[in-house]
Each structure stands twice: as C-alpha cells, then as structure tokens.
Structure 1
Amino acid sequence: MFTALFWFLAGLVPLPAAALEAAPVANRGALFRVEQGGHVAWLFGTIHVGAPDFYPFEPRLMAALREASVLALEVDPLGPQDQIARAVREHGMYQNGRGPASAELPAAYRPRLDRLLRQYGIGAATVAAMKPWMVASLLAVREFEKQGYQAELAVDAWLSQQAHARGQKVVELESVAGQMALFGRMPLADQALFLRESIDAIEDKEQAADARAILQAWMHADQAALERIAARTAADTTYSGRFVSQMLLAGRNPALADGIETLLKTQRRSVAAIGVLHLVGPGSVPELLRAKGLRVERIY
C-alpha cells in the first residue's frame, strides 16, 4: 500500500505493444460518476503496478476516457523526468554522505535486510545512498513483482500514455515532490522503524498476502473486499500502518477532492484517476465530494 511510489522507484519505460493490444477485461478497481451543473467527471481507482492483461479497460471507462477533455492523475508518470529525479534526490537519498540505510537499523536487522536484498537481486550499490523509507518501498515493489505484476505497467502510466497519444491534456492533482516529501520529512528513526516493519512483514509473508489481497480486489472491482482492506488499514496500529492511513490516505484526500471539484467546474467532461484506496472507507474522496454538494454515483 505504498501509494504512488512504484513509478519513482522502478523507472519510467514505454509500455510494450502487448499491453496495448490485449483483449478487453472486466470491471477493474472502482468507478464513480460525479456531476454538477451538467459537467461530469469520472473518478477511477487505480493501482500503481500492472500486467499486460489489465488493458484496455471496460467499455464505459474507455468511452469516458475518449470523450474527456482532460485526464487528471495524482502525478503524471510521463511528465518531466528531471522533476522526478530531483524529488528522488531531495527526499529519498542521503545528502550528507550518511548511510547506508542499514546503519540506521538495530544490529539484528542488518543481516535480515542483506538477505532480502540478495533474494530480490538488489545490489548493495543500488541502495547505498537510499534513505530507509525508500529501501522499504523498493522492497515493496519487488514483492509485487514477485506476484507477477510490474511497476512499469502501472495503471497510471497506461492512462497517461493513452492520453498523450490522443493529444489529450493531462493535469496533476499533486506533485512528485509533495508526495515524496511526506516520506522524506520523517525523522530517520521513524524511517528505520518503517523499514524494520517492512522487513518483518516480508519475512512473515504478510506483505505478500496484502499484495495479493489488494490486487485481487482491484482486478475484480470487489467493493466488499476493498472496504475490508480500507477498514484493516485504518485499524493497523503499526507505525507504517498509521502512516499509510493518516498521511498517505486521510491526509491527502481533502486536497484530492478539492482538485476534482475544480476539475468538474472547469471541464464539461473529464476523468480523474487516483489510487483506489482513496475511494473507499470513511473520509474517502467520494464521501468528501458528496459533502461538497456534488452528485456522486458509484458505478462499480
């Protein structure tokens, strides 16, 4: 559930042709129709990894994408790469020669981290300058890859690629730097705890189970399963669980809702695609939009 990190860590590459030619699939994620004053915004829930058979999406969403004047994403993964690189350096890398991240860990965790890095084929040089939170996120990416999903095939990227190919305007509801600053501002002691909990979760197979659960819920547009995941996330009392719930989800939802409201006011037809966990549970973006007086209908 490391929202919006997979692109920054895995790199940005074009999708292979197979991803563009796969047969249509069933409903994915979650889809809402938001309306006010004759203007319509479709709100789609994404995940930040993917597989070739995810694409294209079901006909209603594909039609909405074609008809939209604007596609809004949390950030555009095909946007200026220098901005992404700068954000990674500023918020994800040590600036003062300190490191590696393993030095922040208790002695007992250091060989455990080394084993995981070897297991995932990650060389020591790759993580030498990474702060602990970024090492934890890289491990999360590799765990998703172990499940057969790839960051370079992420839903956000496919949507962005399609929009750019159509000459469609793509806007960002957030910024790369703003997202990464949420992690980079953590004290190093908290980042080390974040990494320790990630190591524990991977070794206990909890991270693999969580990856399977959210992927299956998204792939089948399973409303009940997504709500259960949201409830479990909100009830997680670990440091990383509280960070995800309070900072990555609840803390960002109001600004995302404001951005979508602005989009709706200025565009007659638009699509906004954001992480699916922003669309479920108490304080979700659809709930906040309803509180603003907008008409919000859940399609699936």
Structure 2
Amino acid sequence: MTFSHPLKSVAARAARLAVGTALGSALALSWATAPVAAQEAPAVAAPATATTADPALWVVRDADSTIYLFGTVHLLRPEVDWRSDKVDAALAASDELWLEIADVDDQAAAMPLIQRYGLAPADQPLSSTLTEEDRAKLDAAAGAIGASAAAMEPFRPWLAALQVSVAAIVRAGYDPGSGVDPKIKAAAVAAGKPVKGLETMEQQFGFFANLPLETQVEFLRQALDGYEDAPTELDQMVDAWVRGDIDAIDQIIVEDMKVEWGDVYEVLLVDRNADWTGQIQEMLEGSGTAFIAVGAAHLAGDDSVQAMLQQQGVTVERQ
C-alpha cells in the first residue's frame, strides 16, 4: 500500500482515520464498550453544538416500500442533542430497524471474536512488528489511556491501533452508550420492532483483520501520532453531523480517507456500501417500511450508498 503525504500533519491524518472509523464502522462502538482502561476518564468540557439538531435523513420509495437512510456517529458525548422530529417520525413509522450489526453491544459475542481476529500468534508479539521508536510511542500512548504496552503485546497491530484511538476518544468524554446506534436500537426494541443487521460482528472484525500487515502497522503508527488530536477532530465532525452538513463530512473525513488510505477506504467504505446497496435493492422488491442507520461516512461522498443507488436508477430524496 502506498501512502501519499500532502501538506498536513501526520497527527491530523491519524486523528481523521480514527474519526473515520467512529463514523464508518460499528466495530468502534463494540470495542469502546470493552474494558480498555483502568483509570477514570478525566472530566472534559463538551464543545458547543448546533442549537437546532438537523442530522441528514434520506428516503427511498417505490409503490409498496419506504426505506429511510440515516447516518450515525457510533460514539457521542452525553450532552449532544441530536434528535429531531423528522428522525423520530421516520423511526416510528418504520416496521423494522436495520443497523450495521444488530448485536453491536453484545460483549459476550465480541470477546471470542477479538481473540480469533485480534490476537497475534505467540511468536509474533506486537513489539516484533514495531521499531524502537514505535515501541516508545506505544508505551507513552498506552500510559495516557490508562493501559500498558505490555498488555497490548498479544494484539495484532490493527487492534492496538483501534484501542489507542477509541480509548483516547472515550477518555475525552465520548460515551459508547450515548452513541446513536444504541439509542435508536433501544427505541426500536421498546416499540416492539425487530432489529436486524446488514453485516455480522464477525464480518466487521474480518475487515480489519484481513488488512495487509504493513497496512495494519501503518494504521497503528498514525494512531500513536494522532491519538491526542482524535477527540478534537471528532468534536468538529459531530458539530457538522448534527447540522446535517454532509459536505463537511465528505471533505474532512471521506475524501481524506480516500486520498490517504486507499486500501482502508475501499475495505471500510466502498465495498461495504456496494453490498448494502444490493441489500436495499432486495428490500425494495418486498414491501413495508424500514429504517436503516449506518455510520455517517457511508452516506457522504461520491461512493456513498445514495450515490450507488442513484447509479442503479433508484431515486433517493433528502428529507
């Protein structure tokens, strides 16, 4: 994999990749609910957010089907008010809820998958993939998030990178329980609506685990350089998301991932969007009303789910 380097800091690129994961993969929420740090997170004041919440919502219709598309942020500060009347009305009108993965908050299911996909062979500890400089940075970052480099020794590089990035965001005040996905899921369950998944948790682990080793190591290196900036980057993107500013999400996250992380962009966004587009086409062949909530990065840019649907002749309207 080749990485391009325009005039921006490595830390900014790393922070944006971490934020892109938070906007584009429910696995960030699954991992954030695992015990990644022993210390209490310091109190951090939340930034100002838009006074009127208007996160973007789209709808696809045919003669007997209605499908709502809603972009989510998998981790949020508890203070963020994102609910809007149109989102609540669409969810209430829907017969079923579709998330990236239905069991995203099921730690019992996640832990054996972490062992299968996230742990390296005993003769290939994490430190064996890193330079001396990398190991020093890992030790510093681990201490900052209340963990230890020794505890990460069994991890494959992608898992260590995700732990560093997500733990930094959580310790800055972001709460996986306050993310959009668990809130929407709880509302659907309370209303007696079935909750389904476009993917399985095992598939999402596989997306990361199947990345080439050199890509995983580069992911970790940039995470180590940018973990302190990730919360600030996510603050900015949450403000844009609450306002429904899809262009900002596209330019700051999606386009950045496309340029800087071609392979990761293809795996985490493009390929999955294509798969989901096919599933939505199958839903349209049936009948009823469905509410689909996926990471906001999937609904921004030229390779978004909406763009792929429109390329196939399906009309997608923003509400």
Q: TM-score scaled by structure 1?
A: 0.85
1:81-119: CA deviation from partner (whole Å, max 9, x where unpaired): 44322322211122x324542331111110111001101
**Pair 1:48-2:74 in alignment:** yes
What is residue 222 of structure 1 aligned with on the other side?
Answer: 245
1:49-80: CA deviation from partner (whole Å, max 9, x where unpaired): 02333456101110111121110011024575
Q: Is the 8 A contact 1:51 1:150 kept in 2?
A: yes
- Give distance in 1, aligned partners of 2:250 and 2:211: 28
Give the one of 282, 287, 296 matched to 2:302: 282
Letter of the 2:289 counterpart: R
Q: CA deviation at 1:174?
A: 0.9
Moved more, 220-229 or 33-42: 220-229
**Pair 1:165-2:190 in alignment:** yes
Q: Is the 8 A contact 1:29 1:276 kept in 2?
A: no
Q: Is the 8 A contact 1:141 1:151 kept in 2?
A: no
Give 1:123-138 correspondences, 5 Å limit: 123-124=148-149, 126-138=151-163
Q: Relative to 1, partners in 2 of residues 1:131 and 1:150: Cα closer, same or farther, differing over 3 Å?
A: same
Give the one of 130, 143, 146 matched to 1:118: 143
**Pair 1:232-2:252 in alignment:** no
Letter of the 1:223 counterpart: I
Q: CA deviation at 1:258?
A: 1.4
SS in 2 for 1:173: strand
Give the one of 65, 75, 78 matched to 2:91: 65
- Give distance in 1, aligned partners of 2:89 and 2:167: 34
What is residue 178 of structure 1 aligned with on the other side?
Answer: 203
Give the one of 208, 221, 227 matched to 1:202: 227
Letter of the 1:4 counterpart: A
- Give distance in 1, aligned partners of 2:238 and 2:74: 10
Letter of the 2:241 counterpart: W
Q: Is the 8 A contact 2:69 2:293 kept in 1?
A: yes
- Give distance in 2, aligned partners of 1:182 and 1:144: 22
Q: Relative to 1, partners in 2 of residues 1:161 and 1:125: Cα closer, same or farther, differing over 3 Å?
A: farther
- Give distance in 1, aligned partners of 2:122 and 2:92: 48
SS in 2 for 1:43: strand
Q: CA deviation at 1:226?
A: 1.8
Letter of the 2:89 counterpart: A
- Give distance in 2, aligned partners of 1:42 and 1:184: 31
What is residue 41 of structure 2 aligned with on the other side?
Answer: none
SS in 1 for 2:251: helix
- Give distance in 2, aligned partners of 1:147 and 1:279: 26
1:115-163: CA deviation from partner (whole Å, max 9, x where unpaired): 0110111134642322111111111112322443122322111111221
Moved more, 1-10 or 34-43: 1-10
Q: Which runs of 5+ in 2 are unaligned?
A: 1-19, 36-50
**Pair 1:5-2:30 in alignment:** no
SS in 1 for 2:155: coil
Q: Is the 8 A contact 1:92 1:131 kept in 2?
A: yes
Letter of the 1:39 counterpart: S
Q: Is the 8 A contact 1:30 1:45 kept in 2?
A: yes
Q: CA deviation at 1:179?
A: 1.2
Moved more, 42-51 or 151-160: 151-160
Q: Relative to 1, partners in 2 of residues 1:26 and 1:86: Cα closer, same or farther, differing over 3 Å?
A: farther
- Give distance in 1, aligned partners of 2:244 and 2:281: 24
1:184-233: CA deviation from partner (whole Å, max 9, x where unpaired): 11233332222112212336x4x445323322221221133123122233
What is residue 213 of structure 1 aligned with on the other side?
Answer: 236
What is residue 127 of structure 2 aligned with on the other side?
Answer: 102
Give the one of 265, 274, 283 matched to 1:245: 265
Letter of the 1:157 counterpart: P
Q: Which runs of 5+ in 1 are unaligned?
A: 14-24
Identity %: 27
1:232-267: CA deviation from partner (whole Å, max 9, x where unpaired): 33222xxxx223322101121100111222233334
**Pair 1:148-2:173 in alignment:** yes
Moved more, 256-265 or 42-51: 256-265
